[in-house]
Structure 1
Amino acid sequence: MSEIDKAHEILGIYRFYKMDGKLYHYDEDDRLDELFDAVVHAINDCGILKPLLPQAEFVIPCRGILNQERAWLQRFEHQDTRAFFLSDIYDFLKLFTGRTKLRVN
């Protein structure tokens, strides 16, 4: 699986939860939290894509959350912070897949 396929796979998680492009219009339900957990795991396990992701912005926080590091858990305890983080990842992956697509053509 290529890095583009991995990026599309993570974007597919947003579609699965019906939250692609709607991260700031979430209802007070569990979808945002479930999406957050799924994306954090996907970033941590993205293999070939991981070195191409912003480390300090995405990879390190995801690793800290999965390792139950108190500082990271506190930073992401509010849904608004989670939504902002997910939005950043979504935007990066959309730009990444678009940029790579242009390079290949």
Structure 2
Amino acid sequence: MGEKNNKSILIISIIIIFILLVIGIGRKAYTSSKENENIERQRTAAVAFKKIQHGIEKIKFNESGLYSGSGIWYVGVNVIIDGKSYKEIAEMIGIVLGE
């Protein structure tokens, strides 16, 4: 009977380890997907911002991006325009708020 209990414990342990591995891999894939989505949104916001503001030398994103309560994605950026630095809030259609 002791051998049967050992086999049961081994099987349960293997199942638990398998489940934890699947959860870990799934979480990594989800995180990677979110990072790619944020990078694409940042790229779109930068292109839209450059269309409405001339003289941009550099855009530095301060964060990966957030959704407001109304569901609009936005991101804080530092922008250098004609040698001067500005703090702005950009969204996918361009600039929202700033100095």
TM-score (norm 1): 0.27
More strand by share: 2
Q: Which structure has the greater CA radius of gyration? A: 2
TM-score (norm 2): 0.28
